[in-house]
Structure 1
Amino acid sequence: MDSTDTSRFEASRNRLASLAYRLLGCAADAEDAVQEAFLHWQAADRQLIKVPEAWLTKVVTNVCLDRLRSAQARRERTVGAWLPDPLLDGDPMLGPADTVEQRDSVSLAVLTLMERLSPLERAVYVLREAFSYSHAEIAEILDITESTSQQHLHRARRRITAARRRSGGEVAPASARRIVEEFLAAASSGRTERLVALLTDDAIAISDGAGLTEKLLRYDTAQRIAAVARAGFTPTPAKRRFAGGTPAIHHALVNGAPAILFVLGDQVIGAVTFDITGGKIATVRGIAAPTRLARLTETWRQHEPDTPLITQW
């Protein structure tokens, strides 16, 4: 394979990675899928490929579908035991973000809800909403009919609408930062009543338990969430020993949503993200499993962070 063929693939790498991430929700799996597509590209008779972009899109999509259908994926991605990898805003793996639909399709809320879709419904939704492929093009990519593609999209949109209602749509950056700062101040000071006031009546909190539990931890009352947040955000010597030191706490945008990052040196050791609706917090997600934070840490190291909200937690 000559340099022209390699360059042609590399020009598509970020787009393919953002497609694979939306389909799989896991950065490492997305990178593996793109690398597998590169091996297919190397082995192919490229003179017969009339539209490389379309060919590569089909290969990556089908590699991802094979992964989603595998027995291992079904075990690992059971509802209630899986969260998508968080990505720092600016990461090229997040892909196109020009429209509301494109931004929604990479939010943690939608990526989580897409686990309830069939692999084909997920693929149709991503190809249509995030990459604006026509139903004729999607039919070609997935080897289905146009009417089947339309049916899959209709079902997927109906389910995804629930996530959009809950997340409340986009929030002005200044407002989002203010809410995050208020949450952090209330949680770290132990002001439970102020935490409850920041949450919607039907707020939920989800945590991966730093990867130490097989199932996600879930809390579904404002009072319980406030109590858990107060306990979790109050620093103690034991927590610092577990973290390996005294992290700084930064505000950031993760998958388009406001977030708090715990950073020790140049390593992100924890991320707490927020879905905001009506000026209040509807969903809190705590992610601390190192495997889920690997890509975010890599991007953070190339990022010029703002002044920490808390220099030493």
Structure 2
Amino acid sequence: MTGTDAAASFDPLRPRLARIAYRMLGSVADAEDVVQDAFLRWLDADRGQVREPEAFLRRVVTRLCLDQLKSARARRETYVGPWLPEPLVEEEEEEDVEDVTLPLMMALERLSPLERAAFLLHDVFGVPFEEVADTIGRDSAATRQLASRARTHVRAARPRYAMPKEKGLEIVAAFFAASRSGDMTAFRSLLADDVTTWSDGGGKVHAGLRPIVGVDDNMKLYTSLARFFAKEQSRIVRYGMINGLPGFVSVEPGGVLQTTALAIEDGRIVGIYVTRNPEKLGHLGAVH
């Protein structure tokens, strides 16, 4: 088989392999590197002996991700401020293929690499436990236990119900209007009492160094920010779904590109996820 043949068999699988890698790593660039590395290994493989190319490549990608996670966890221990996964802004025609929202991805960060792999492969991507066990080098019973522990840890982060996309985007638009105009009465009406804001600047741009928890502290934060917005308005690039949550891409005072995603329960905002680190937004350059 030629390189052209290898590409022809690999390319249809690339999007799904990229989704696995991204959900394992939380980084678009790292996921792309892993998938490209998997393609190079596919080129070198004895492909005629591979009965199930997708299973073979899924195993390669997962093992590469497990290797990456070891160094990624060390880097995140020294990360400046809250760490958020790189935002994925869904295209209008894109279908939701997995129920992996931003809060769930953050919960996955608290798992061991093997727990994360077992949970994602089996519970999210529907891979049989026998294949997962072979992929991560554990027996089937141990793999089931890893997935069970992971389920327990992430249960609270999984969506309790699906909100209609249109309703979520209505709340997002109201959030943007109230926060940028300084209408704090309208802004307060959108927030749950236990709302938390995470702001990821990675030490590259101004951002909070810790999560802001509770409605009172969030009101103080956004009242303070309203003074900056009064001097230089934010500009909306687009509204849309970001890592499974309604949100928006904007250009903020100082020309900072930013994504904001909102977790909403019972019609109130319980989580505000702001990504400002330019190193995590380079893949959004086309929408800037």
Q: TM-score surpassing 0.5? A: yes
Partner of residue 213, structure 2:
220
The size of the alignment, in residue pairs, is 282
Counterpart for residue 148 of structure 1: 142
Structure 1 pair 45–215 and aligned structure 2 pair: CA distance change class (3 A): farther
Map 1:68-147 → 2, pairs under 5 A:
68-70=69-71, 72-76=72-76, 81-90=82-91, 97-98=96-97, 102-103=98-99, 105=100, 107-147=101-141
Distance in 1 (alpha carbons) for counterparts of 2:36 and 2:9: 14
Verify the 8 A CA contact 2:207 2:276 in the aligned structure 1. no
Q: Using the TM superposition, name which of 127-136 and 77-86 deviates more.
A: 77-86
- Distance change in 2, residues 1:268/1:56 (3 Å): farther
CA distance in 1, matches of 2:91, 2:33: 21
Kept in 2: contact 1:82–1:215 (CA 8 A): no
Percent identity over paired residues: 32
What do residues 105-133 of structure 1 show as CA deviations (whole Å, max 9, x unaligned)?
2x111111100000000001110122101
Query: Cα distance, 1:43 vs. partner?
Result: 1.9
Checking the alignment, whether the CA contact within 8 Å between 1:186 and 1:195 is kept in structure 2 is yes
Q: Which amino acid aligns with 2:126?
A: S
Pick from 185, 190, 205 the counterpart of residue 198 of structure 1.
Answer: 190
User: What is the alpha-carbon distance in structure 2 between the residues aligned to residue 65 and residue 258 of structure 1?
Assistant: 30
2:30 aligned partner: 29
Q: 1:77 to 1:18 in 2, by over 3 A?
A: farther
Q: In the alignment, is residue 259 of structure 1 matched against residue 253 of structure 2? A: no
Alignment-mate amino acid for residue 55 of structure 1 = F
In the alignment, which residue of structure 2 is the partner of 1:6? 7
Q: Which amino acid aligns with 1:4?
A: D
Deviation larger for 110-119 or 203-212: 203-212
CA distance in 1, matches of 2:208, 2:111: 20
| 1-structure distance, mates of 2:87, 2:210 | 17
Structure 1 position 44 matched with structure 2 position 45: yes
Alignment-derived partner of residue 276 in structure 1: 264
Query: Quick one: which amino acid aligns to residue 74 of structure 1?
Result: A
| Offset at residue 232 of structure 1 (A) | 3.0
Structure 1: gaps spanning 5 or more residues: 241-245, 302-313
- 1:157 is displaced (CA, Å) by 0.8
AA aligned opposite 1:220: V
Contact 2:82–2:211 at 8 Å: present in 1 too? no
- Check whether the contact 2:191–2:268 (CA below 8 A) recurs between aligned residues: yes
Conservation of the 8 A alpha-carbon contact between 1:254 and 1:273: yes
CA spacing shift, 1:214–1:40, aligned 2, 3 Å:
farther
Residues 189-212 of structure 1: per-residue CA shift (max 9 Å, x gap): 222233222111111001013733
- Cα distance in structure 2, aligned partners of 1:21 and 1:289: 18
The Cα of 1:217 is off from its aligned counterpart by: 3.3
Aligned counterparts of 1:209 and 1:3: Cα–Cα separation in 2: 42
What secondary structure does 1:116 align onto?
coil
> Would you say the 8 A contact 2:82–2:199 is kept in 1?
no
Distance 1:278 1:236 in 2: 31
1:287 is matched with which residue?
275
Task: Indicate yes or no: 2:175 matched with 1:176.
Answer: no
Secondary structure of the corresponding residue to residue 217 of structure 1: coil
With over 3 angstroms needed to count, the CA separation of the structure-2 counterparts of 1:216 and 1:125, relative to structure 1, is farther
Q: Tell me how far apart the structure 2 counterparts of residues 83 and 34 of structure 1 sit (CA, whole Å).
A: 22
Q: Secondary structure at the match of 1:87?
A: coil
| Post-superposition offset of 1:48 | 2.4
Q: Give the secondary-structure state (helix, strand or coil) at the position aligned to 1:235.
A: helix
Gaps of 5+ in 2: none
Provide closer, same or farther for how the CA distance between residues 23 and 215 of structure 1 changes in structure 2, counting only shifts above 3 A: farther
Structure 1 residue 170: Cα displacement: 2.1
By how many angstroms is 1:268 displaced? Answer: 8.2
1:304 counterpart residue number: none
The one-letter code of the counterpart of 1:282 is V
